[in-house]
Amino acid sequence: MANSANTNTVPKLYRSVIEDVINDVRDIFLDDGVDEQVLMELKTLWENKLMQSRAVDGFHSEEQQLLLQVQQQHQPQQQQHHHHHHHQQAQPQQTVPQQAQTQQVLIPASQQAAAPQVIVPDSKLIQHMNASNMSAAATAATLALPAGVTPVQQILTNSGQLLQVVRAANGAQYIFQPQQSVVLQQQVIPQMQPGGVQAPVIQQVLAPLPGGISPQTGVIIQPQQILFTGNKTQVIPTTVAAPTPAQAQITATGQQQPQAQPAQQQAPLVLQVDGTGDTSSEEDEDEEEDYDDDEEEDKEKDGAEDGQVEEIHRSKNKWKFHLKDGIMNLNGRDYIFSKAIGDAEW
Amino acid sequence: MAYQLYRNTTLGNSLQESLDELIQRSSLRGCVTFTFSQSQQITPQLALQVLLQFDKAINSALAQRVRNRVNFRGSLNTYRFCDNVWTFVLNDVEFREVTELIKVDKVKIVACDGKNTGSNTTE
């Protein structure tokens, strides 16, 4: 775990700057008649790029919170720490912005089971998923998550997938995973057996329409609903298969089973768990190797520093620098200072 | 007007890139009769406004929310003072913070005059 105080303050500071900026420009956006969704997309893009740059560690402290939660909930089976190496597989392939045309209503059922559980995606298992550039609010708006269910955080897993943590009004947290492809790989802390499912599952997989216009694809997975055993996958059959975005509605009231009315059956829900037959872990390793290679190459990871000058002093060839309020990028990582004092000889 | 100095940082660059993406993007709207219309998601003007807002936000955040000190030492390779902006290139630099030591072979420092900006607020 990072030991420097700087690595704790930098993500927080960045987060707060992002929040400030987004909130401040919201008015400007609205004045210009630009949809709020675009604002959220901007935020998502911004955060994604920050994560991709790997300049900031532990950008999402929510990760650690979730890990803690999972640990406390006595299911340490499928936990993995999120390394600092984020393997990016998400590419900006989806240039077509997601239109908020979906009309789905998702109401996660009230949790009767134990304390809210969280799916901690296994880094190795999550693959083949393109993180769409959907912001939290955009996906919420798209899926018409009810009030009280607000995307809280976005988690970037090891394989670079963008998950969103959605916190429902009842305090339960779900991990919502927007995705374009239908392949979903996850591990869930197996809590409940198929027969003992109390909380109805609301599960949607929105497969991309074959027309080229891809609506949202998202999966909301409630824990206890998906059991992965070995290399087989089972979807506990209280779920609904992929509904058409614009037409299907899923309503769940209380503890009842969700009634999904998919007008069209999209591509089937495919869940895969990779056990020993995991090929993408090789990719991950390759990526890691590539990263190391970059460091060894002559491609210098320069340092760059932007700041303000309090004073610059020179005596013969001895220079003294008094700088303030600066952002540094050293060896690829970001640091921030309020004061920097330096000496150099010319 | 806040310094635009911080636009060339990780935070600033990622914002600029995101804005550029949104400008480049056009939203396709199709309707039943297969006519499509395109419109920019955001205008360059709007992007500029966002960046200006970013300048204000980052300047104020740095001035108010950061409270740590760094020392560094190295050898000065080049220096430049032009348009009230200092640019230095140092070699073999060690940055020392309370908790850690960072070494780089080469670092470029760009610094604007900080005397006219609001001094650190005392809180």
Residues B56 and B88 grouped into a single domain: no
* B-contacting residues in A 304-333 (Cβ below 8 Å): 304-310, 312, 317, 319, 321, 323-331
- Contact A231/A274 with Cβ under 8 angstroms? yes
Q: Compare CB distances from A96 to B28, B75, B105 and report the shortest one's residue.
A: B28
Q: Which residues of B touch A299 (CB under 8 A)?
A: none
The reply to whether B119 falls in a domain is: no
Distance CA A111, CA A54 (A): 36
Q: State whether B50 and B88 are in the same domain.
A: no
Residues of B in contact with A28 (CB under 8 A): 46, 49-50, 53
Residues B42 and B92 in one domain: no
Q: Domain check: are B12 and B60 in the same one?
A: yes
Does some domain include residue B88? Answer: yes
In this predicted structure, the answer to whether residue A195 has a pLDDT above a threshold of 70 is: no
Tally of structural domains, chain B: 2
**B52 and B79 both lie in a single domain:** no
pTM of the model: 0.48
Write down which residue in B50, B65, B80 finishes a domain: B65
Judged by a CB distance cut-off of 8 A, whether residue A213 touches chain B is: yes
In a domain, B109, yes or no: yes
| Banded pLDDT at B74 (limits 50, 70, 90) | very high
Cross-chain Cβ contact B107/A330 below 8 Å:
yes
* Residue A30 at interface with chain B, using a CB cutoff of 8 Å: no
In sequence order, the 6+-apart residues with CB closer than 8 A to the CB of A289 are none
- For B81-120, how does the pLDDT look when each residue is reduced to its tens digit (9 = 90+)? 999 899 999 999 999 988 889 999 999 999 988 765 544 4
Of A9, A91, A119, A29, give the one whose Cα is nearest residue B66. A9
Measure in Å the smallest separation between the Cα of B15 and chain A Cα atoms.
5
Q: Output the pLDDT for position B71.
A: 92
Residues B87 and B51 in one domain: no
Between CA A222 and CA A229 the distance in angstroms is 17
- With tokens 């959220």, the residue in question is A40
CB contact under 8 A, B99 and A3: yes
Lowest-confidence region among A1-15, A265-279, B10-24, B63-77: A265-279
> Does a structural domain hold residue B121?
no
CB pair distance less than 8 Å for B114 and A21: no
Verify that B77 and B96 share a domain, yes or no.
yes
DSSP for A15-39 reads HHHHHHHHHHHHHHHHHTT--HHHH
Q: pLDDT tier at A341 (50, 70, 90 boundaries)?
A: very high
Cross-chain Cβ contact A309/B63 below 8 Å: no
- How many Å apart are CA B93 and CA A345, to the nearest integer? 11
In contact, A200 and A258? CB cutoff 8 Å: yes
| Same-domain status, B84 and B107 | yes
Taking contacts as CB-CB distances below 8 angstroms, the residues of chain A near B42 are: 29, 32, 34, 38, 42
Count A/B contacts: CB-CB distance under 8 Å.
234
Same domain? B37 vs B82: no
ipTM score of complex: 0.81
Is the CB of residue A90 less than 8 Å away from at least one CB of chain B?
Answer: no
Whether residue B30 is contained in a domain is answered as yes
Strand locations in A179-302 (E) = 183-184, 218-221, 226-229, 232-235, 250-251, 259-260, 270-271
Looking at the structure, tell me whether residues B55 and B101 fall in a common domain: no
**CB within 8 Å: B70 and A34:** no
Kindly state whether residues B75 and B92 are assigned to the same domain. Answer: yes
- In this structure, the answer to whether residues B58 and B87 fall within a common structural domain is no
Six-digit token string for A328: 């540094």
Tally the C-alpha atoms within 13 A of residue A261's C-alpha that lie toward its C-beta: 8
| Residue A317 to residues A345, B87, B90, Cα–Cα distance (Å) | 6, 16, 13
With contact defined as beta carbons under 8 Å apart, do A81 and A155 qualify? Answer: no
* Chain B residues touching A3 at Cβ < 8 A: 99-100
> Is A285 in CB contact (< 8 Å) with chain B?
no
CATH number at residue B99: 2.30.18.10
Identify the three-state secondary structure at position B77: strand
CA distance A202 to chain B (A): 30
Domain presence at residue B20: yes
DSSP letters for B15-63: HHHHHHHHHH-EEEEE-TT--EEEEESS-HHHHHHHHHHHHHHHHHHHH
Three-state DSSP state, A7: helix
CA A320 to chain centre: 44
CA A282 to chain centre: 22
* Averaged pLDDT, B8-12: 89
Q: Which of B27, B49, B65 is the last residue of a domain?
A: B65
Q: Which residues of chain A neighbour B114 with C-beta distances below 8 Å?
A: 307-310, 323-325
Q: What is the pLDDT of residues A1-29, one digit of tens each?
A: 444 556 677 888 888 888 888 888 888 88
Q: What is the domain range of residue B78? A: 71-114
Q: Is A20 on the interface with B (CB under 8 A)?
A: yes
Is residue B38 in some structural domain? yes
Residue B81 lies in a domain: yes
For residue A276, what pLDDT is reported? 53
